[in-house]
Amino acid sequence: MKKILIAGGTGFVGRHLVSHLIQVGYSVHVLTRKPSENTHSGMKYFQWDLKKRYIDINAFEGVDTIINLTGENISAGRWTSERRLELIESRVSSLDLLYHYVKEHTLKIEKIISSSAVGYYGAYTTETIFSEESENGNDFLAHICKVWEQAAQQFESLGAKTIILRKGIVIGKDGGIYAKLAPLAKLGINVSVGSGKQYMPWVSLRDLMMMYEFILVQNDIRGVYNAVAPQHITMNDFAYILLRSFGKTSFLPNVPSFILKLLYGEMSVMLLQGSRVSNAKIRNFGFKFHLDTIERSLTYYSV
C-alpha cells in the first residue's frame, strides 16, 4: 500500500482528501500539531511543530510523496501587519521545514504536490483569461502565492517532481464559501456582493479530489497547474444558481461594496474582484472534470 504524507490534512480540503485517498487504496500519514490517538484504518497522525522546527521523523517512513495543504485561513480576519506575516509564514515556514527534513535526512521523496491559489494573478477584474504562464500580480494576494510557490519549488533541487495547484474557490458541502452562503440562500437572501460582475474562478471539491488522485499516478507530471472548473461564472451567476438550487429567488440588491470594505478592509478584494482563469493545461494533460458547471456542482451538494 503506497504511503502519502499530508501536511495540513485536518482542514476543509485536507479532511476530504485523507478520506478519499484511503478509499482508493493509499495509506496516509497526517502531520498535525496535536496528534490524535484515534487513528483510523489507513491513516496515522504524526506530530510537527513549526515554531520548534520539529517533525516526528517516523512520519516519513515508507513515504515517497508529500501533499502540502498548509496555510492559515486567508479570510479569517483583517489583514493587519501581524496577520499578513502570519499568512505568509504559515505557508513558507511549513514548506521550509519539510524541505529541511527531506534534505538533512536524505529522504527519497519522489513527488510533492503543493497548494497555491488563483490569487497569484492578482485581485482585480479584467476580461483577460489567465493561464499558468501569465505574470504574477502586484498585490498582497499575489505576493503570498509567489513566495508560497517559491518555497515549494525548493524540492526540485532534491530531485522531487514538484506540482503546484493554483486553486480557485473550492465548492463543497461542509466548508468554504458554500457552507457560509448556502444557509442564506435557503432563506431566499441574495448572496451576491458589489457589482456582481466580478468573475469567480471555482472548482468542485469532488473534482479537486479526483485531480489529486490523477496527479499521483502520473509519472511525468510536474510544474504549475490551475485547479479551476471549465465554466467561467460571475458572482451574480453564482448567487442566482445557488438560490435556484434551493428553489428560491430573490429581489434583494447585492451587498454594497462599501459595506464589505468597512467590515473587512483590504481583504474585501477577495470578494469584490476576480478574473477568468484557464484550466487548459491540466485538461490537455488528460484530466477530465465531472462537475464541470456550477449548476451540476451546486445540485450535487444541495442534495
CA atoms within 13 A on the CB side of 34: 0
Quick check: 187 and 247 in contact, CB under 8 A?
A: no
Q: How many whole angstroms separate alpha carbon 19 and alpha carbon 24?
A: 9
CA dihedral 111, 116, 118, 121 (to 10 degrees): -100
- Among 48, 53, 41, 58, residue whose Cα is nearest residue 10: 48
Looking at residue 85, its pLDDT comes to 94
Task: At 3, list the grid cell.
Answer: 504511503
Q: How confident is the model at residue 262 (pLDDT cuts 50, 70, 90)?
A: confident
Quick check: 28 and 223 in contact, CB under 8 A?
A: no
H or E element: which one contains 215? helix 205-216
Range of 294's domain?
Answer: 3-237+260-302
Answer yes or no: is 249 within a domain: no
Task: At 110, list the grid cell.
Answer: 519522489
Answer yes or no: is 255 within a domain: no
H or E element: which one contains 54? strand 54-55
Answer yes or no: is 295 within a domain: yes
Q: How confident is the model at residue 301 (pLDDT cuts 50, 70, 90)?
A: confident
Mean pLDDT for the chain overall: 93
The total of other beta-carbon atoms located within 10 Å of residue 207's CB is: 23
Q: What is the pLDDT of residues 43-69, one digit of tens each?
A: 999 999 999 999 999 999 999 999 999
Q: What is the pLDDT of residues 19-38, one digit of tens each?
A: 999 999 999 999 998 776 55
* Paired strand residues for 225: 165
- Among 147, 44, 137, residue whose Cα is nearest residue 90: 147
Q: How many whole angstroms separate alpha carbon 8 and alpha carbon 187?
A: 34
Task: At 127, list the grid cell.
Answer: 476580461
The total of other beta-carbon atoms located within 10 Å of residue 105's CB is: 11
Answer yes or no: is 244 within a domain: no
- Among 236, 214, 239, residue whose Cα is nearest residue 227: 214
Q: What is the pLDDT of residues 141-166, one digit of tens each?
A: 999 999 999 999 999 999 999 999 99
Looking at residue 211, its pLDDT comes to 98
Domain count, the chain: 1
Looking at residue 39, its pLDDT comes to 62
**pLDDT at residue 250 greater than cutoff 60:** yes
Q: For residue 206, what is the domain's CATH number? A: 3.40.50.720
Answer yes or no: is 10 within a domain: yes
